[in-house]
Amino acid sequence: MIVIPAVDLRAGRCVRLREGRADQETVFSEDPVATAVGWKARGAERLHVVDLDGAFAGEPRQAALIAEVVAAVAPLPVEVGGGLRSLSALEAALETGARWAVVGTRAALDPEFLGEACRKFPGRIIVAVDGRGERVAVRGWTEVAAEGVVDVGVRARDAGAAALLYTDVTRDGTELGPNVEATAALARAVELPILASGGVARVADLVRLAAVPRVIGTVVGRALYTGAIDLAAALAALEG
């Protein structure tokens, strides 16, 4: 399992939100490009870049900055997300050089769109399954949909998604520990590669997630930025 640093962009800065709430923001860097380059220098094998403004607006808002980040860390693989709710937005995101595009809201609410996206961009669509309890949170996590977490995961598998990104939104940005049980349940039900996210606070959390079958990576944000987790130490622990 790999550790994937999160680079969350809001108003041109690198920030972290608590439980996805816009009013619970901590700014960690005024220079996201330098931040991303720093993670690459420290040994990151992949980056997770999110346009938070886009996630709230429903369409990309920081495309130029994302393209700059992707170019600065090339050839490091990058997954990008935030407001990617049309085929044209997906295409533009992938044209930056990003390896994968992350689709959440539209994937949960529009099965036809999800299938079309996976057909048009085979192997390059990651479906974000953002859980609030057993149901999925959508539109920048501001609403809870009727669709269940496992239902969306199964739909993504059947559509041909490359992987799932599972986040327990009640843990995200809290450093309260990941929801390992829910992550494992989704992995068992869907049988797709899983990226875990939300609440990771210490290296021991990463070790627990690494033991879950089909979890291939964990996205880590606040704990890396506060120093609660040292990236080099985490990588060494997982290699061991």
Question: Mind telling me the catalytic residues?
Answer: 8, 130
Amino acid at 78: V
The dihedral sign for the CA sequence 201, 103, 4, 224? negative
CA distance 176 to 179: 9
Distances (CA, A) of 138 to 113, 154, 216: 15, 17, 24
Residue 209 has φ and ψ, to the nearest 5°, of -65, -35
- Helices marked H in 27-98 — which ranges? 32-41, 52-57, 63-73, 87-95
